[in-house]
């Protein structure tokens, strides 16, 4: 089933409502490439690429993340049915970790955070500062 951008926006709005209401998440409605062009915030801790899975758009995602100094660059759909995503990741050094089809890029040395994410993505067990959710109290 393919969901419209409008539907996806509203589902995201519902899922993230608590974080939006508490000011921890800002939901932006924009074409990602326009948003990349006007981004002037601090270096993100993490960029998750999961919008358009063709080659060129995924390259744009990765190169944006590299340009702004993201410490972890990762995404979804490193899988044969999304060969554009696979190629874009491979052309930027390949993945450092792959769990299912979720990939983490082997970023340049200056951004390495190996101790946090290896040996598997399962090793990420805590977040600092802790996120207080309405579900865990």
Ligand X SMILES: C[S@@+](CC[C@H](N)C(=O)[O-])C[C@H]1O[C@@H](n2cnc3c(N)ncnc32)[C@H](O)[C@@H]1O
Q: Is residue 121 at the binding interface for ligand X, with CB under 6 A as the rule?
A: no
Q: Is residue 5 at the binding interface for ligand X, with CB under 6 A as the rule?
A: yes
| Shortest Å, Cβ 8 to ligand X | 3
Q: Which of 135, 73, 126 is nearest to 104 (CA)?
A: 73
When binding is defined by CB under 6 A, the residue of 10, 13, 46, 50 that contacts ligand X is: 50
Q: Is residue 31 at the binding interface for ligand X, with CB under 6 A as the rule?
A: yes
Q: Is residue 8 at the binding interface for ligand X, with CB under 6 A as the rule?
A: yes
Q: CA 103, CA 109: separation in Å to the nearest integer? A: 17
CA separation (Å) from 17 to 9, 27, 28, 124, 131? 12, 10, 13, 24, 14
Helix (H) or strand (E) run with residue 63 in it:
helix 55-67
Q: Is residue 10 at the binding interface for ligand X, with CB under 6 A as the rule?
A: no
| Shortest Å, Cβ 2 to ligand X | 9
Binding site for ligand X (CB under 6 A): 5, 8, 31-33, 50-52
């Amino acid at each position: 089933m393919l969901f419209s951008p409008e539907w996806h926006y509203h589902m995201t709005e519902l899922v993230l409502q608590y974080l939006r209401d508490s000011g921890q998440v800002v939901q932006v409605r924009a074409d990602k490439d326009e948003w990349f062009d006007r981004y002037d915030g601090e270096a993100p801790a993490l960029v998750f690429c999961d919008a358009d899975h063709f080659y060129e758009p995924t390259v744009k995602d990765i190169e944006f993340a590299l340009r702004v100094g993201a410490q972890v660059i990762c995404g979804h759909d490193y899988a044969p049915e999304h060969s554009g995503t696979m190629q874009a990741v491979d052309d930027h050094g390949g993945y450092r970790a792959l769990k299912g089809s979720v990939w983490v890029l082997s970023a340049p040395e200056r951004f390495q955070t190996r101790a946090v994410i290896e040996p598997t993505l399962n090793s990420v067990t805590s977040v600092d500062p802790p996120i207080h959710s309405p579900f865990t109290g």
